[in-house]
Amino acid sequence: MSADEGSSERPLAGRIAVVTGAARGQGRSHAVRLAADGAAVIAIDLCAAPATTEYDGSTRADLDETVAMVESLGAGCVGLSVDVRNLSLLSGAIEQGLGTIGDERARHVDIMVANAGIAGGAPIELMAAEAWQEMIDINLTGVWNSVKAVIPSMLANPRLPANGGSGTASVVLISSANGGLKAPPNLTHYAAAKHGVVGMMRSLANELGARGIRVNTVHPTAVDTRLIHNDFTYRLFRPDLESPGREDVVELFRSFHSLPIPWIDSSDVSEAVAFLASDASRYITGITMTVDAGLSAR
């Protein structure tokens, strides 16, 4: 185990991060990125398909691979399969995770990355009430549950000034550029949830700032993951084609951006998450950080 204090090579050494939605995609990337900076990781994922999503769910094998990737970087890791919609199970899982990794002196959450989320889309006349409800339950209430579940541990963190330390704890909520700052058609549930995360972040930033907990949102544009790369999304964007594929949506996605790219990589979001998680941003709270190739400024 590395030293308690971070170095320039491992600035998060001795810290514990919780990442939800960690089995694959952005969440896996964040877990691995924070581990490379030295953090131990509690990796949480549903490891199943929600009822209303139109693409494959994650699996326990996916989560196990994330754990293996984190461990290969020399960081402690525990993977726990739990639904962010269930606050009591989530709280229990984080307690269990804290008991498993780190040494006894350092069993407090330093970093919370609330990343778990689903995507979907339909005109309001066709959107099922169940789809609305599941979106709000996972992408909004699930984020609140995730913060709620780590707050007891965070508030007791000895790194905070209130507990005699001189550091901060960092909560990073993953919103969206398209859903959280803009609001294109056919995304009523997604936009409501992702805008809601911003309001939650702002209130929490005001509430927790004096106690040394920073709270910010990250707003990615389309990321090259299963969330956009699935047949349902392809058909949503190219209703003119019978069986559209990845290549059929490149130009359309590129047209959303100022930079000449159709989508970004998970690792691009992870760099922003790592920045907000670290002391490099010790005086940054309450901000909406975009990683969106210029989408929201257009």
Partner 1 sequence: MANADERPEDPRRSQRLDGRTAIITGAARGQGRSHAIRLAELGANLVLVDVCADLPLIPYRQPERSQLDDTARAAREAGAEVRTVVADVRDAAAMSDAAMLAVGELGGIDIVIANAGVIQLKAATEIRPEDWAAVIDINLTGTWNTIAPTIAPMIDQGRGGTIIITSSAAGLKGPPNMAHYAASKSGVIGMMRSLSTELGPHSIRVNCVAPTTVDTEMVHWPEAYALFRPDLESPGRDDVTDIFASLNVLPVPWIQPADVTEAVAFLASDRSRYITGTVLPVDAGTLVK
Residues that bind partner 1 (CB under 8 A): 29, 32-33, 36-37, 65, 68-69, 72-73, 161, 168, 202, 205-206, 209-210, 212, 214, 221, 257-261, 264, 267-268, 270-272, 274-275, 280-287, 289-298
β-sheet bridge partners, residue 80? 44
The helix (H) or strand (E) run that includes residue 152 is helix 142-155
Nearest to 130 by CA among 66, 223, 24, 54: 54
The helix (H) or strand (E) run that includes residue 235 is helix 231-237
CB closer to partner 1 out of 30 and 107: 30
What's the min distance (Å) between Cβ of 112 and partner 1? Answer: 18
CB closer to partner 1 out of 83 and 224: 224
How long is the chain? 298
What's the min distance (Å) between Cβ of 72 and partner 1? Answer: 4
What's the min distance (Å) between Cβ of 58 and partner 1? Answer: 17
Residues 6+ apart with CB under 8 A from 294: 257, 258, 259
CB closer to partner 1 out of 25 and 120: 25
CB closer to partner 1 out of 73 and 131: 73
Q: Which residue has the tokens 């992870």?
A: 270
Nearest to 274 by CA among 172, 182, 177: 172
C-alpha to C-alpha distances, 30 to 34, 39, 160, 165, 270, nearest whole angstrom:
6, 11, 23, 26, 5
Residues involved in catalysis: 190
CB closer to partner 1 out of 14 and 38: 38
Q: Which residue has the tokens 């498993």?
A: 100
What's the min distance (Å) between Cβ of 195 and partner 1? Answer: 15
What's the min distance (Å) between Cβ of 94 and partner 1? Answer: 24
Burial 223-261 (b: 16+ CB within 10 A, else e): bbbbbbbbeebbbbbeeeeeebeeeebeeebeebbeeeb
- Angle of CA points 105, 110, 111, to nearest 5°: 150
